[in-house]
Amino acid sequence: MKSSLTKASTEIEIGNITTLPKSFRLLLLSENKAPRTVEVYGDAVKLLADYLERTGMPLSVAAMRREHIEAFIADLLTRNKPATASNRYRALQVFFRWLAEEGEIAESPVRNMKPPIIPETPVPVLSEDEIKRLFKACEGKEFADRRDMAILGLFIDSGLRISKSQTLSSIKT
């Protein structure tokens, strides 16, 4: 049976960053990565491919060098927070490691790179009025009200804090 791919289209597809994400996605799914991880890693590769194409840099993964990835990360930092650029960098580390394991590249262009530094951002401290309003919102005789009051008291007295992914309203169920 003859393949429907022509020689020219086969040469374009092999080792091209615009066609490899499908195989990379399959790998991530086969490793049972979380859906969000699969999405984030795929987005990082797509953003890199878009950047390389837009700037006229090589789309062949074998031709990619550290300076191409550094330019991409630097570009991300002009438009995104450092944490986002670091997240994209880490996804690309996995992608290029996979390419090296598959023999698509001799070595990863990110092998000796360091991720972008993420500066520490202080968490804003609530004002006394905001704290009073929180306690006022938890007044009541119901179990949930008393539970929320105890949680707030624990946070205030001990210095504990909720993770970035949670909000106070998500605790009050």
Q: Give, in order, the Cα–Cα distances in Å from 21 to each of 45, 61, 130.
A: 7, 12, 47
Residue 167 is part of which domain span?
Answer: 128-171
63, two tokens: 């031709």
Report whether pLDDT(90) > 90.
yes
Please report which confidence band the pLDDT of residue 59 belongs to, taking 50, 70 and 90 as the band edges.
very high
Q: Same domain for 83 and 142? A: no
Mean pLDDT of 130-135: 88
Same domain for 89 and 142, yes or no, is no
Confidence band for 1, pLDDT divided at 50, 70 and 90: very low
Look up the CATH number of the domain holding residue 87: 1.10.150
pLDDT (mean) for 101-111: 92
Instruction: Clarify whether residues 165 and 97 are in a common domain.
Output: no
Residue burial 162-173, b: 16+ Cβ < 10 Å; e: rest: eeeeeeeeeeee
Q: What's the structural domain count of the chain?
A: 2
The CA R_g of the chain, rounded to the nearest whole Å, is 24
Residues 52, 68: contact at Cβ < 8 Å? yes
